[in-house]
């Protein structure tokens, strides 16, 4: 049972990195300038690197024929445990940056706690990832400021994106049963405790960007239990196409 | 110094293999030729991100996905060095983009072919990057300093990409019958376009003579093509794939491969903008540029505001 909870707990972290990486990968070569293209590709690479570390560890725990690739390419939509936020589409640059900013703010807080996990492997992956995610956070926060305090048009666009994405932020602090079990073992991070700091950080950046914190009472959740938005099936269809069409081959 | 003396000094530097640097005097034609060649090269890197970017979300393993992303990121980096090198000649990146988007400037014709299977990622690395290296290694010794220095770094990374591409092809060729067929199909589709990358035959190449003089070129297109064929055929044999050329055969006398005639009608069709993906590629670039305009405007407006804040704070 402990093993299963640990695997589920790892999915809850790793799937976020993979699905966000997959979304960012769609943008490669289509950015507003070359520097942004390079930076976004760099973030994608970091996230996929982290994904591989987590999945390799989960595959070791599962044993048998499990590999990083079976976990990525052969799990169904209902088995994916990423939050709804990361699967949201790249509607425009404001949505991509808004999504990144909200996720980075959470991700960094999570990793800063995860580095003290009783599980040595998770602690090590978190330590390595903190450096990368600090960079992601700087990039996305800087762009929030540029867009918020840029032109009238950019201000409006990023405010709209933040307003639309805000409904997915509460799920970041939702705990599954596996999460709770891992917290009680000293392995997992109690995400409910991260909420005040998340809000303080996000509010400070938005204020500097001359943007409003959305006033919202209704939130969406489900991703952590494998109940995803309608975007997710298409995303996985792309991601898994090769492994599903040509099963059991080496590439 | 008079114009004539300047020209003589310039010729002397070129003859002595000394580099021409941005602040040095140079003939106007030299400057223009370099702007044309370096910018075309930069544009090729940027447009070249698209056919490979097409497979990022569908790469068949996480390891391959990461490697492909890293490769496309390198290409964006190459574009960046090359635009910077080009800017030392007194042209702005915006002007260069305008030339690309208006169709005035060209990019490598190879990127107008579609990537239809995963094996195309292998074929592009192996063949397309292979042909690019043959073209580019001599440029590390070209006369214009900023271009030569950019090429040193570009060539190192391209060699790595080529090995990576060959490794993808080798894995497929040693894989299941389906995978081997996929690799052979990719080789069939990319072979001739790769040979075409080395340009028109010497008889039809308009810039060759001048480029040889300025050391922008050390060998003619046909010599480079022969070198590419000689180098690539044994690699194909090594992994059990067949070059799609019935006229290809080893020539004992010349110790080189003889090969068939290229389809020059196809070559000119693609160069003139009517290949399978010319429109798709240009639309993607123009779209990214126009959709990104509000983002660039925002960055500019923000930078101006920040500067103003700093000034008033002082």
Which residue among A28, A93, A150 sits closest to B69, beta carbon to beta carbon?
A: A28
| pLDDT attached to residue B209 | 80
Nearest to A171 by CA among A189, A191, A196, A187: A191
Using CB atoms and an 8 Å cut-off, which of residues 82-111 of chain B contact chain A? 83
> What mean pLDDT value characterizes chain A?
97
For an interface test with A, which of B65, B93, B115, B116 has the most A Cβ atoms less than 10 Å from its Cβ? B65
Identify the pLDDT of residue B283: 96
Q: Which residue has the higher pLDDT, B219 or A1?
A: B219
Residue B186: both structure tokens together = 């990719």
Return the residue of A nearest to B299 by Cα: A146
Q: What is the pTM of this model?
A: 0.96
B57 touches chain A (CB under 8 A): yes
Position A2 scores a pLDDT of 60
Query: CB of B291 within 8 Å of any CB in chain A?
Result: yes
Closest residue on chain B to A30 (Cα): B288
Please name the residue of chain A whose CA is at the shortest distance from the CA of residue B282: A30
pLDDT(A1) > 60: no
Q: Which of A45, A145, A150 sits opposite B73 (nearest CB)?
A: A45
Q: According to the model, what pLDDT value does residue A182 have? A: 97
Q: Which of B80, B289, B294 faces A153 most closely, judged by CB atoms?
A: B294
Per-residue buried b or exposed e for B127-166, using 16+ beta carbons within 10 Å of the residue's own CB? bbbbbbbbbbbbbbebbbbbbbebbeebbebbeebbebbb
Can you tell me whether residue A153 is helix, strand or coil? helix
Q: Do A34 and B46 touch (CB under 8 A)?
A: yes
With beta carbons less than 8 A apart as the criterion, state whether B151 and B228 touch.
no
Tens digits of pLDDT across chain B (314 residues): 888 999 999 999 999 999 999 999 999 999 999 999 999 999 999 999 999 999 999 999 999 999 999 999 999 999 999 999 999 999 999 999 999 999 999 999 999 999 999 999 999 999 999 999 999 999 999 999 999 999 999 999 999 999 999 999 999 999 999 999 999 999 999 999 999 999 998 888 777 788 888 888 888 999 999 999 999 999 999 999 999 999 999 999 999 999 999 999 999 999 899 999 999 999 999 999 999 999 999 999 999 999 999 988 87
Q: Is A80 helix (H, G, I), strand (E, B) or coil?
A: coil
Is A74 near chain B, with CB under 8 Å?
Answer: no
Is B56:A25 a contact under the CB 8 Å cutoff? Answer: yes
Return residues 149-168 of B near A (CB < 8 Å): 168
The number of residues making up chain A comes to 251
Q: Phi and psi at residue A91, in whole multiples of 5°?
A: -55, -50
Taken in order B301, B90, A39, A237, the sign of the CA dihedral is: positive
A15 min Cα distance to partner chain B (Å): 13
Whether residue A173 has pLDDT greater than 90: yes
Element (H, E) at B251: strand B249-251
Q: Are strands B256-258 and B249-251 parallel, antiparallel or unpaired?
A: antiparallel
Higher pLDDT, B314 or A209: A209
Token duo for residue A12 = 């809850």
Residues 6+ apart with CB under 8 A from B139: B147, B148, B151, B216
What is the predicted pLDDT for the residue at A35?
95
Q: What pLDDT does residue A3 have?
A: 72
Question: Residue B38 burial by CB count (10 A; 0-12/13-18/19+): exposed, middle or buried?
Answer: buried
**Contacting B residues, span 204-233, partner chain A, CB-CB under 8 Å:** none
H helical segments located in A26-92:
34-62, 68-73
Mean pLDDT value across residues A230-244: 98
Is the CA virtual torsion A118, A121, A124, A129 positive or negative? Answer: negative
Task: Give how far the C-alpha of residue B294 lies from the chain's centroid of Cα atoms, to the nearest Å.
Answer: 30
Bigger pLDDT: B311 or A167? Answer: A167
In chain A, % of residues over pLDDT 70:
99
Name the DSSP class of A186.
T
Query: Exposure pattern of A35-49 as b/e (b: 16+ CB <10 Å)?
Result: ebbbbbbbbbbbbbb
CB contact under 8 A, B69 and A238: no
ipTM above 0.85, yes or no: yes
Using a CB–CB cutoff of 8 Å, tell me whether A91 touches chain B.
no
Interchain contact, A30 vs B287, CB within 8 Å:
yes
* Cα torsion angle, A90, A94, A99, A100, sign: positive
């Amino acid at each position: 049972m402990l093993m299963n909870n640990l695997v589920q707990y790892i999915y809850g972290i790793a799937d976020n990195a993979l699905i966000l990486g997959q979304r960012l990968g769609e943008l490669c070569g289509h950015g507003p300038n070359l520097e942004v293209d390079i930076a976004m590709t760099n973030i994608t690479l970091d996230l996929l690197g982290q994904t591989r570390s987590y999945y390799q560890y989960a595959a070791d725990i599962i044993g048998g024929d499990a590999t990083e690739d079976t976990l990525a390419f052969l799990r169904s939509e209902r088995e994916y445990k990423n939050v709804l936020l990361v699967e949201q589409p790249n509607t425009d640059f404001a949505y991509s940056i808004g999504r990144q900013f909200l996720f980075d703010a959470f991700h960094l807080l999570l990793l800063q706690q995860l580095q003290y996990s009783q599980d040595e492997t998770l602690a090590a992956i978190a330590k390595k990832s903190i450096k990368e995610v600090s960079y992601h956070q700087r990039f996305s926060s800087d762009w929030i400021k540029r867009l918020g305090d840029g032109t009238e048009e950019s201000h409006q666009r990023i405010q709209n994106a933040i307003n639309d994405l805000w409904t997915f932020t509460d799920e970041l602090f939702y705990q599954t049963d596996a999460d709770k079990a891992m917290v009680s073992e000293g392995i997992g991070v109690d995400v409910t405790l991260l909420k005040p700091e998340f809000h303080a950080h996000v509010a400070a950046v938005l204020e500097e960007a001359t943007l409003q914190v959305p006033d919202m009472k209704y939130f969406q959740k489900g991703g952590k239990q494998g109940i995803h938005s309608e975007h997710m099936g298409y995303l996985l269809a792309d991601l898994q196409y090769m492994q599903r069409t040509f099963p059991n081959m080496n590439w | 110094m008079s114009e004539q003396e300047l020209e003589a000094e310039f010729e002397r530097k070129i003859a002595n293999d000394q580099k021409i640097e941005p602040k040095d005097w140079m003939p106007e034609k030299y400057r223009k030729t370099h702007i044309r060649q370096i910018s075309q090269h930069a544009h090729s890197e940027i447009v070249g991100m698209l056919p490979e970017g097409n497979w990022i979300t569908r790469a068949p393993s996480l390891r391959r996905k990461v490697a492909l992303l890293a490769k496309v990121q390198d290409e964006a980096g190459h574009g960046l060095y090359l635009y910077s090198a080009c800017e030392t000649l007194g042209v702005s990146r915006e002007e260069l983009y305008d030339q690309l988007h208006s169709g005035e400037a060209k990019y490598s014709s190879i990127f107008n072919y579609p990537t239809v299977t995963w094996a195309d990622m292998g074929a592009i690395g192996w063949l397309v990057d292979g042909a690019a290296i043959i073209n580019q290694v001599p440029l590390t010794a070209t006369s214009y300093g900023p271009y030569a220095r950019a090429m040193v770094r570009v060539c190192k990374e391209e060699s790595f990409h080529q090995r990576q591409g060959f490794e993808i092809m080798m894995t497929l060729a040693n894989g299941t019958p389906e995978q081997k067929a996929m690799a052979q199909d990719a080789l069939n589709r990319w072979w001739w376009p790769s040979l075409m990358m080395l340009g028109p035959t010497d008889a039809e190449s308009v810039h060759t003579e001048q480029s040889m003089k300025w050391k922008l070129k050390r060998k003619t297109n046909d010599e480079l093509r022969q070198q590419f064929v000689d180098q690539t055929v044994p690699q194909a044999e090594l992994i059990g794939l067949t070059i799609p050329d019935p006229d290809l055969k080893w020539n004992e006398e010349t110790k080189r491969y003889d090969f068939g005639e290229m389809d020059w009608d196809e070559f000119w069709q693609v160069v003139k903008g009517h290949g399978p993906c010319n429109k798709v590629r240009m639309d993607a670039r123009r779209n990214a540029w126009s959709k990104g305009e509000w983002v660039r405007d925002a960055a500019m407006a923000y930078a101006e505001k920040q500067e103003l804040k700093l000034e008033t704070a002082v």
